Amino acid sequence: MEKKPAKILIIDDSEVVLEIAKETLEKAGCLVAIAIDLKQFENEIEMFNPDLLVADIKMPEIFGQDLCSLLKEHLGVTIPVILFSDMDQEELEVLALQSNADGFVSKGDGMDALVLKIGTILKR
């Protein structure tokens, strides 16, 4: 039986990052939805029903770690969340732990690192 493609929802305030990540993940066989703000994110999470979320940290409306905490601790969302940021690796790791994120990837490590982390978390 063939596996269904992973459904990934990415929220980032950079259109460039969203397009590059979407293209990379689609080439890796994922179905991808993107959101540039909270309103779009709320629509996409409901309609797309993702298997995993990728959240930027530094966004104007909400920080990614706060979004992760809100989803996991207050709304009971059980899908995995990866924090994706250009901040220092150690700082990113601390924020991931504090927010109960399932993983983190530094944007400096590139899109291949994101694909690898998603595969590891989803065991694909």
Domains of the chain in start order, with CATH, are 7-119 (3.40.50.2300)
Q: Which single residue is written with the structure tokens 């909400």? A: 62
The pTM of this model reads 0.93
- Indicate whether 9 pLDDT > 80: yes
- The two tokens of residue 23 are 């293209």
| pLDDT at residue 1 greater than cutoff 80 | no
- What's the distance, CA 108 to chain centroid? 15
Rounded Cα distance, 15 and 119, in Å: 24
Question: Residues 107, 83: contact at Cβ < 8 Å?
Answer: no
66-87 per-position pLDDT tens digit: 998 888 887 778 899 999 999 9
Least confident piece of the model among 1-5, 47-51, 81-85, 120-124: 1-5
Strands of 4-115 (E only): list them.
7-11, 31-35, 52-56, 81-85, 103-106
Distance separating alpha carbons of residues 16 and 85, to the nearest angstrom: 14
